Each structure stands twice: as C-alpha cells, then as structure tokens.
Amino acid sequence: MWLVEEAKKNMPVELDFLNEGHNAEKVAGMLAHFPFLKVPMIHWDLSTKRILTMEFVDGGQINDKDYMKKHGINVNEISENLGKMYSEMIFVHGFVHCDPHPGNVLVRKCAHSKKSEIALLDHGLYQALIRGDMSGVERYSLRLGAGELYPLFACVVTSRSWTAVNAGISSVPVTSSEDVEIRNDAAQYLPQISQLLNRVPRQMLLLLKTNDLLRSIETILQTRSSSSHKRSKAQSMRRHLQITLAESLNLWRLSMYELFLWVSSSTVGHWLTTLLPFLHIGH
C-alpha cells in the first residue's frame, strides 16, 4: 500500500507538464555553471498542462557505448560529469532529477564547441532531499527509520553486499561474484526490502531509485570502479600516488562537510548565526 499511496501522490505531479517545464528551467539555471549540461528550452506559448513543447535535442542514450565510440565521446568523462551533476543536485541544492533512465539522459557532441554534452530530459518529478564505520552505518540508518533492518538499508543505499559494507566499500572493488550475491540476496530478502522501503522517508524512495539508475549506467559503461581497483590498474608509481592523494582529498572534503553540517545544526552554530548580524552592524 505504501507504494500505491506514493504513486497516487506523484502521478498527478508528473502529468502536469507546466510543472515539468518550470522544473526544467529551474535545473537549467541551477546548473548553468556546468558547460557539459544541456537542458532543452521550453516554448511556453505552445505549452499547456497537457502539452509541453520543448526544443528538440538529438543524441544517443547514455548507455549506448557504440554511439559514443562512433562519435568520439569519452565514456569516463561522461560518467564523471553525470556524477558531478547529480552530486550537486542532491548535496548542494536538494532539488533532484529523479528519473535518469537512459531514455531521459542523452549524450552528444555539441555542433559548435565539438565538446561532449549531457542532455537531461523529463523533469516531471523532482524531490528535495560512505568507510567501514559500522557504528556510524547503524546510527545514520536508524535516524532514517531503518530500525533493525539497518544492514539491509546500507546494502540498498550502496548497492554493495554486506561483506563489502563491513570491509569499507572504498577498499573493496566490485566483482561479478558480488553482483551475483546481491541479486540472490535481493530475491531472498524481498519481504524485508519491502518492509524497509515502507519505513524510510518518502523522499528517500526517489533518491534510492535515482541511485540505482545511475549505478546501472555506470555498470553498462564499465566506469564503476573503486580507488583500490584504479590503483591496481595503475602502471606507474606516479599514477598510483595521484589516485591515493585524490582519494585522501575527497575523504577530507567529506569530513569537513560533515563537520560543517554538525556545527551548523549545533547550539554553537545557532549562536554564531544569531551573533553574525550584530557583528556586521558593529563594523
């Protein structure tokens, strides 16, 4: 019933094409600093709640490796840019395109710049909205309502096996045997998965769906890999060091962001927020 209720609420929103047009314009402005992103323009004079007229954008589906090879499009560059785009939507703006299946995400070479572009279609439904720290996994999963099903929740969020989550997903590369294990577990624990999805905040359902679609694209493009896997493929000590430093920098950024969020939500953060206007007036 939770799935029926969610669909009942979201379907009218998705079918209001004026809403979709406004979402498209919002995300285009929000991510205008990404030169690789193309969002079709809306022809408002030819649009209604039942008809949306948009700029025509051609291209190949983002999971079409043959199209990319034919047009000289770098799959790793596309995968990286897709990650940048969605990370900013989720973690910076809290305004997320929640339907990135291949039919809604096209790739092409720009006719003018000759650079690769990602075209994002279908803006009907947006929603506001990881080492082996098991106590942290349990704590944050409980906050999101997972309860005693927190191990399952961690696996759903990361699309990794419980073995990999325990070891730390950044240190364990994805293997074909792990993918088989995940598929088998998904079938075995289907009732528990349904129970879990009924517990978490409704916004999480769309983010989990978005996460799965993005991982599926990465898997098809064969760009889904961990830092440890990249290190194992490094052909020089310099490249090995570059990967290690990049991973350390990203982990430091995440730690700083977590600290910022903690301070912002703490009593000290509220006190500083209240005090800053008075300090400004004093100057």
Measured CA to CA, the distance from residue 173 to residue 169 in angstroms comes to 7
Identify the active-site residue in 45, 58, 64, 99. Answer: 99
pLDDT tens-digit map of 55-67: 998 899 988 989 9
Measured CA to CA, the distance from residue 210 to residue 56 in angstroms comes to 24
Q: Three-state DSSP class for 135?
A: helix
16 is catalytic: no
Q: Provide the mean pLDDT of the chain.
A: 77
* Cβ count within 10 A of residue 254: 13
Q: Three-state DSSP class for 126?
A: strand
pLDDT at 150: 81
Q: Three-state DSSP class for 48?
A: coil
Q: Number of helices and strands (H, E) in the chain?
A: 13, 6
Distances (CA, A) of 200 to 132, 205, 231, 260: 22, 8, 36, 25
pLDDT tens-digit map of 167-207: 776 666 777 787 788 888 888 888 888 888 888 776 677 67
pLDDT tens-digit map of 98-130: 677 788 889 998 877 788 999 988 776 555 544
Q: In the structure, what pLDDT confidence band is assigned to residue 161 with cuts at 50, 70 and 90?
A: confident
pLDDT at 129: 44
pLDDT tens-digit map of 206-245: 677 777 766 777 767 766 555 555 555 667 777 777 777 8
pLDDT at 13: 73
Residue listed under structure tokens 């528990």: 192
Measured CA to CA, the distance from residue 236 to residue 197 in angstroms comes to 45
